[in-house]
Amino acid sequence: MREFELLERDGFARLGRFPTPHGTIETPALLPVLHPDPKRQVIPAREIRDRFGLRAAITSSYILWRSPELRARAETEGLHRLLDFEGPLMTDSGAFQQHAYGSVEAGPEEILDFQERIGSDIATVLDIFVEPGASPEAAQRGVEETAERARRARERRKGLLAVPVQGGAFPELRYRSAQVASELGDLLAIGGVVPLLEQYRFPELAQLLLAARPALAPQRPVHLFGAGHPVVFAFAALFGVDLFDSSSYHKFARRDAVMLPEGTVALASIREPICDCLACQEVPLPELRERPPEERERQLARHNLAACAKELSRVRQAIRDGTLWELAERRASGHPALYQGLKAAVRGARWFVPVEPDSRPSFRWSSPLSGLRPSVIRFLARLALWSAGKGPFHQFPRITLTPGSLRSVPSSDSVGAPLWWEAATPIGPVPLELLEVYPVGCWVGPELFDPDLRRVAPDLVEEDPAEAPELRVARWTGRHVGALYAWCYGASAAAKLGELHLQAIRSARTGRLRRLDREGHTWFVVGNDGIPYPTWAGAKELHRTLPAPQGRVVVASDAVPFVEAGRTLFAGFAASADWGLSPGSAALLVDGEDRLLAVGRLRLAPPEFGRFRRGVAAEILSHARSPPPVVEEPSPAAWPPENPAEGA
Ligand code: GUN
Ligand code: ZN
């Protein structure tokens, strides 16, 4: 069986491909619940697939099994024909009915074998639904029994198996249950959360998702049982939930409840045509109120399902764009419970940091929680380290600039000591040298700080009023570049790189640092995130400068000739990466003898190396035979300018 493959990511959230016998599921995906009795399926399964674009679905094997007539039909026709759905079909096991009705009549083996017989693509272990309010003893019993059943199920089942994660409200039980699921399951299905979802208890949901997270194998898709409202998709995706399932689209429709990405609204209150989904194009919501109950239920179910599908598209796009936290914050501003849930998530920001990308295309301030995003926590943690001893300026007196203080700054302090200039930013004081770096370097938000401080930096860092302006600019640029080296590679590497005296090229239009050159060659290209990315020339220097294993990914010998020639590094050929790297980092790809092969940009996070067997581990940025980088701007102003003192 082929395995889950990660295509793109934003933190834990990922776009992936999960192959099943009836086709590949593109994640994140919603598996709509199909009624086991096709006569009672409110939207025809075929329409769900073809018109809503939902290519995979789920049904309850237990409800099928319980009805002698349906059971017989499923066993003779097979599940896909019975439900008229030619795509990946997952079956649930009956644990939810245990939650709803108190017991199930089938044994775990019986229901597992039934799922096998009817041709389910993904069978689910009959787990014990542990209620969020269960006692520690009951929760532990539920986790142990679920684990035992999962072990037996794994022995019987050759095909894909979903192993539920239970544990109630107890973090250590959630963690242990996630470990067992990761060992035995092809799909890790977080269960026992329906009451939390129904009652909008999102802080508790955040806590248990965080508790399970470190034990969930990154190379397996994660499912969240019973989550099927558009308000939760972005939130849950942040924690790395890849699959959702729910019958809510229909349940809500039965009580005239309209799903919107911001929340739920009663149909009776809608007087304007606020939606133009495929259902609302046929009958706009305000008119639907007047229609007979049966038509209302069907059309509203179609609207609800379309609203879910649309929100999942937004989530997928946000993962591509690196804007999922922004989307989650915008959704959370719509509902206080969700806001509290997201707040609980950012309190656990440290769990997110190892999979945080180095940068994203922009940082958009979206809510009061924006300043607590993992990217900010990571930046501030690094800044604290840097200024505590690793940075070149920690010993200097600090002056923090605000837009209001710009005109009254002293040109040097009274004892003539060098100064460490900082800008007041929404996430606290940041050294001027780091103002081009993500997140402050691509800050989009209300005018809480003046990003133009970057432009005036050389004028502000006026330590000697008698100094010629060109020299001042040159000295500022030296500080700026030196600080970036230190930020990216540490102080001792920065000192060595400084000795190269690379020439800093700035954008003529924005003044931002763009390249670091020497003798007509580019050694580093500075991204929009303010980070210098090495070319082949720069990489050779870094490789000499940084002690192994710093900055490196070791490539398996089979793949060495390919990587050397500039071919993508696949996950199966990269066993480990330096834990100082992140997704998106430029890394030195080396062989077992630490010979430099290429520069790659990581897709996987260091903890994920050695786990995935499919997909890309790093794309190649440059290698020995790659052409020189394209110069973006014609004859940019070169900083530093010719030294006038030398010419004299
Ligand atoms: N559906 C909703 N919650 C659950 C759960 O905890 N386990 C299973 N198997 N199905 C569910
Ligand atoms: Zn609609």
Nearest CA to ligand 1 atom 9: 95
Question: Higher model confidence: residue 417 or residue 320?
Answer: 320
Average pLDDT over residues 538-547: 96
Looking at 6-10, 412-416, 549-553, 559-563, which range is the least confident one? 412-416
For residue 511, what pLDDT is reported?
82
Q: Ligand 1 in contact with 95 (CB < 6 A)?
A: yes
For residue 98, what pLDDT is reported?
87
**How would residue 628 be classed by pLDDT, with cut points 50, 70 and 90?**
confident
Question: Higher model confidence: residue 491 or residue 276?
Answer: 276
Does position 582 have pLDDT exceeding 70, yes or no? yes
Q: For residue 262, how far is its CA from the centre of ligand 2 (angstroms)?
A: 14
- Tokens representing 603 are 């897709």
Ligand 1: which of 129, 165, 229 to mutate, judged by most atoms within 8 Å of the beta carbon? 129
Average pLDDT over residues 363-374: 92
**Distance of alpha carbon 200 from its chain centroid, rounded?**
23
Q: What is each CA distance from 632 to 348, 509, 618, 635, in whole angstroms?
A: 40, 12, 24, 9
* Ligand 1 closest atom vs CA 127: 9
- Give the DSSP H or E segment for 5: strand 5-10
- 394 φ, ψ (degrees, to nearest 5): -65, -25
For residue 491, what pLDDT is reported?
83
Q: Ligand 1 in contact with 564 (CB < 6 A)?
A: no
Amino acid at 575: A
For residue 394, what pLDDT is reported?
60
What is the Cα–Cα distance from 619 to 598, expressed in whole angstroms?
10
* Ligand 1 closest atom vs CA 124: 9
Mean per-residue pLDDT over the chain, rounded: 90
Q: For residue 95, how far is its CA from the centre of ligand 1 (angstroms)?
A: 5
Q: Please, which residues bridge with residue 570 across strands? A: 616
Most confident of 90-104, 294-308, 420-434, 471-485: 294-308
**How would residue 637 be classed by pLDDT, with cut points 50, 70 and 90?**
very low
Q: What is each CA distance from 192 to 101, 151, 172, 294, in whole angstroms?
A: 14, 20, 15, 32
Ligand 1: which of 91, 99, 143 to mutate, judged by most atoms within 8 Å of the beta carbon? 99
* Ligand 1 closest atom vs CA 125: 9
Catalytic residue among 92, 127, 242, 358: 92
What is the Cα–Cα distance from 477 to 638, expressed in whole angstroms?
11
> What is the reported pTM?
0.93
Q: Ligand 1 in contact with 129 (CB < 6 A)?
A: yes
Can you tell me whether residue 164 is helix, strand or coil?
strand
The secondary structure of 27-65 as a DSSP string is ESEEEEBPPSSGGG-SS-HHHHHHTS----EEEEHHHHH
Does position 644 have pLDDT exceeding 50, yes or no? no
- For 327-336, what is each residue's pLDDT tens digit? 999 999 989 9
Average pLDDT over residues 249-270: 97
Q: For residue 226, how far is its CA from the centre of ligand 1 (angstroms)?
A: 7
Nearest CA to ligand 1 atom 6: 191
Amino acid at 90: M
Average pLDDT over residues 618-643: 63
For residue 647, what pLDDT is reported?
31
Does position 492 have pLDDT exceeding 60, yes or no? yes
Q: Ligand 1 in contact with 551 (CB < 6 A)?
A: no
* DSSP structure class, residue 371: G
Nearest CA to ligand 1 atom 11: 96
Q: Ligand 1 in contact with 582 (CB < 6 A)?
A: no
Q: What is each CA distance from 624 to 18, 534, 589, 591, 597, in whole angstroms?
A: 35, 13, 12, 14, 7
Q: Ligand 1 in contact with 127 (CB < 6 A)?
A: yes
Q: For residue 48, how far is its CA from the centre of ligand 2 (angstroms)?
A: 15
Q: Ligand 1 in contact with 535 (CB < 6 A)?
A: no
For residue 426, what pLDDT is reported?
85
Q: Ligand 1 in contact with 96 (CB < 6 A)?
A: yes
- Give the DSSP H or E segment for 194: helix 194-198
For residue 472, what pLDDT is reported?
79
Q: What is each CA distance from 425 to 22, 174, 458, 618, in whole angstroms?
A: 52, 39, 18, 33
Does position 92 have pLDDT exceeding 90, yes or no? yes
- For 379-428, what is each residue's pLDDT tens digit? 999 898 887 765 556 666 677 777 666 555 555 555 555 667 788 888 88
Does position 110 have pLDDT exceeding 60, yes or no? yes
- For 201-236, what is each residue's pLDDT tens digit? 999 999 999 999 999 999 999 999 999 999 999 999
Instruction: Report percent pLDDT > 90 for the chain.
Output: 74
Looking at 25-34, 142-151, 281-290, 639-648, which range is the least confident one? 639-648
Ligand 1: which of 63, 90, 96 to mutate, judged by most atoms within 8 Å of the beta carbon? 96
Ligand 1: which of 98, 194, 241 to mutate, judged by most atoms within 8 Å of the beta carbon? 194
- For 419-467, what is each residue's pLDDT tens digit? 677 888 888 888 888 989 999 988 888 766 666 666 666 666 666 778 7
Q: Which ligand is nearest to the CA of 301?
A: 2
- 436 φ, ψ (degrees, to nearest 5): -95, -5
**How would residue 168 be classed by pLDDT, with cut points 50, 70 and 90?**
very high
Question: Higher model confidence: residue 527 or residue 453?
Answer: 527
Q: Ligand 1 in contact with 192 (CB < 6 A)?
A: yes
Question: Higher model confidence: residue 318 or residue 486?
Answer: 318
Q: For residue 567, how far is its CA from the centre of ligand 2 (angstroms)?
A: 46
What is the Cα–Cα distance from 406 to 339, expressed in whole angstroms?
36
Q: Are 383 and 430 in contact (CB under 8 A)?
A: yes
Average pLDDT over residues 267-288: 97
Ion ligand 2, residues whose Cβ is below 5 A away: 275, 277, 280, 303
Q: For residue 303, how far is its CA from the centre of ligand 2 (angstroms)?
A: 4
Instruction: Delineate the domains of the chain, giving CATH numbers in brackets.
Output: 5-247 (3.20.20.105), 349-461 (3.90.1020.10), 536-623 (2.30.130.10)
Can you tell me whether residue 554 is helix, strand or coil?
strand
Q: Ligand 1 in contact with 527 (CB < 6 A)?
A: no
Q: For residue 10, how far is its CA from the centre of ligand 1 (angstroms)?
A: 27
For residue 416, what pLDDT is reported?
56
- For 117-130, what is each residue's pLDDT tens digit? 999 999 999 999 99
Q: Please, which residues bridge with residue 596 across strands? A: 590
Q: Is 321 among the catalytic positions?
A: no
Instruction: Report percent pLDDT > 70 for the chain.
Output: 90
Q: For residue 264, how far is its CA from the centre of ligand 2 (angstroms)?
A: 13
**How would residue 516 be classed by pLDDT, with cut points 50, 70 and 90?**
very high
Question: Higher model confidence: residue 476 or residue 55?
Answer: 55
Q: For residue 17, how far is its CA from the centre of ligand 1 (angstroms)?
A: 23
For residue 424, what pLDDT is reported?
83
Q: Ligand 1 in contact with 177 (CB < 6 A)?
A: no
For residue 450, what pLDDT is reported?
64
- For 191-208, what is each residue's pLDDT tens digit? 999 999 999 999 999 999
**How would residue 102 be classed by pLDDT, with cut points 50, 70 and 90?**
confident
